[in-house]
Amino acid sequence: MDAPAAPVAEAIPLVTPLNLLLASLAAYLVYLRYKPTTLPTLPPQPPPLLYKPYTPRTLQRYNGTDDPRVLLAVKGTVFDVSAGRSFYGPGGPYSIFAGRDASRGLAKGLLEEELLTSVDAPIDSLDDLTAQEREVLDGWFETFEGKYLVVGELVNEGQEEEK
């Protein structure tokens, strides 16, 4: 087999598909390096809830049915228990307390509608509780404080403005 006569010094074309590809890749890499960057953004934090006074009547709305938030009051402090919806929300075992002053029921450990103060009556002063019941109530209060958000206080009708 004869080798072909001296190889023809073929002019290598400057523009070939491969060169074009490499050149555009290089250009793209340079572009990536110098393109203006925008800093990533995180979603803003939810706005803080307003700490405000509730009356037994205004509190009643927040039982999970009329308003998606579930609030309840213990010893004059209103807690947002929406995080424990499965307990305090509609259908939950403690749903009776939702939107109500739960102090007496928690102190006595009873889930009875009659025990809770009517929304039209003034706030329960809890004066007649026994020492043991008071202790139980304080225990509940601490649990709520540790677990849920304090969003307001329970006041009698007509006292909202003073606070």
Partner 1 sequence: MSSDIGYVTYTLVAIVAGLLLLPVLLDGEPDGPAIALFHQASVAATRRKKESAIYRSRETPFGFPLRQGLGIQQGYTKRNGDVRDIWKVFMQKPGQLHTILGNDKVVHSIDTLDDEIDKLGEYISGLKTSRARKVVAVYLPNSAENLVAGFACAFYDFTFVPIQYPAEVEVVEEKLRNTDAEILIMPAASLDLNDLKTATSLKHVILVVEEGSRHLDFASEPTATVTLKEWHDIAANGKKGARPEKLDESQPHMLVFSKNLKLQKNEVVPYSHINIVSAVSAQATFLPPKDQLKQSDVFTPASTLADQYTRIVTYTAMLAGSTVIVNAVTPPSGSLQSSCENAIPSVIVVPADTLANIYRMSKAAQCELFHEWMHIYQLRKLVRYGQAPKSSGFARFNDYDRPNLGQNLRLIFVAENPAEGTKPLTCNMLNDLRAIMFSKIVYAFTYPPAAAGAITQTTSYDYRPGKDTATFKDTHMGPPMSSLEIKLRDAAEYTVENEDEPIGEIVVAGPSVTTEGEYATGIIGRWRNDGCLALGSKD
Distance between CA atoms of residues 111 and 109, nearest Å = 7
When the beta carbons of 56 and 152 are compared against partner 1, the nearer one is 152
Residue 125 vs residues 38, 104, 155: alpha-carbon distances, Å: 58, 10, 11
Distance between CA atoms of residues 26 and 32, nearest Å = 10
Regarding 4 and contact with partner 1 (CB under 8 A), the answer is no
**Coil, strand or helix: which one is 52?**
strand
Sign of CA dihedral 137, 120, 97, 73: negative
Site for partner 1 in 114-153 (CB under 8 A): 149-151
Least spacing, CB of residue 107 vs partner 1, in Å: 26
When the beta carbons of 118 and 143 are compared against partner 1, the nearer one is 143
Site for partner 1 in 36-55 (CB under 8 A): 37, 39-42, 44-45, 48-52
When the beta carbons of 15 and 131 are compared against partner 1, the nearer one is 15
Q: CB of 79 within 8 A of CB of 151?
A: yes
Listed ranges 21-29, 60-68, 90-98, 119-127: which one lies at the site for partner 1 (CB under 8 A): 21-29
The separation between the first and the last C-alpha atoms of the chain, rounded to the nearest angstrom, is 108
Regarding 30 and contact with partner 1 (CB under 8 A), the answer is yes
Exactly one of 2, 12, 91, 128 binds partner 1 (CB under 8 A); which one?
12
Least spacing, CB of residue 75 vs partner 1, in Å: 18
Distance between CA atoms of residues 72 and 52, nearest Å = 14
Least spacing, CB of residue 123 vs partner 1, in Å: 21
Distance between CA atoms of residues 15 and 160, nearest Å = 82
Which residues are near partner 1 by CB under 8 A? 10, 12-14, 16, 18-19, 22-23, 25-26, 29-30, 33, 37, 39-42, 44-45, 48-52, 149-151
